[in-house]
Amino acid sequence: MSNEGKLILFSGPSGVGKDTLLDILFQKRPDFQKSISITTRERREGEVNGVDYYFITPDDFEAMLDNGEVLEFAKYGKNLYGTPKKPVDGWLAEGKTVILKIEVQGAEKIKKMYPDAVAIFVMPPSMEILEKRLRRRGTENEEDLVRRLTIARDEIKKSRDYDYIVINDSLEEAADEILTILNKES
């Protein structure tokens, strides 16, 4: 099993900069494999199906669950998010480092199934900065924004269960810190 790859769990509250950090990491390490999640949420402007997420209907999501095709799933706000099982297991068998951008609920489940997985939590410098980032993004109405901030507070409390916590105050510094962790762990 020395050829077995490494699973990296990458979490943090909405608006903390996970996607931007991952873009930087994959530019620096194109050999890392990005797992693309499925979701029932609406596609945001600029997002591409099959690149950012697989955007599917709630009925299709339920069918995948029934067929055992989802490694884990979580409800976040009103939407479902999940990790397709087959590609992740295939990449790990090929010896690849696989990065899952995953909600805190899902990370807990995955860590139980893959105890060797390395969990990294991306933390905002402060709740005030997180709120400013979410508002600047402009993708949620006020009700959704308040819900995301409430969820963020709960997620931050669970960050102590992660192997590493990286504060995203500066994108380049946070990306370098994460890259150092990944180089050490994979």
How many CA atoms does the CB half-sphere of 60 hold within 13 Å?
11
- Quick check: 2 pLDDT over 50? no
Q: Band of the pLDDT at 122, cuts 50, 70, 90? A: very high
Average pLDDT value over all residues in the chain: 92
Residue pLDDT, tens place only, 35-89: 999 999 999 889 999 988 999 999 999 999 999 999 999 887 789 989 999 899 9
Sheet with 54-55, strands from edge to edge, namely 54-55, 38-39, 79-84, 70-76
Q: Which residue has the higher pLDDT, 4 or 59?
A: 59
N-to-C CA span, the chain: 14
**What is the CB neighbour count within 10 angstroms for residue 56?**
17
Asked whether 14 and 168 are in contact (CB, 8 A), the reply is: no
What pLDDT is stored for residue 139 in this prediction? 77
Residue pLDDT, tens place only, 158-178: 999 999 999 999 999 999 999
What pLDDT is stored for residue 3 in this prediction? 62
What pLDDT is stored for residue 105 in this prediction? 82
DSSP classification of residue 49: B
What are the two backbone dihedrals, phi and then psi, of residue 54, each rounded to the nearest 5 degrees? -95, 110
Asked whether 58 and 50 are in contact (CB, 8 A), the reply is: no
Max mean pLDDT range (92-96, 108-112, 139-143): 92-96
Instruction: Give the burial class of 29: count Cβ atoms within 10 A of its Cβ; 0-12 exposed, 13-18 middle, 19 or more buried.
Output: middle
- Quick check: 1 pLDDT over 60? no
Listed in order, strand segments (DSSP E) in the chain are 6-11, 33-35, 38-39, 54-55, 70-76, 79-84, 97-101, 118-123, 164-167
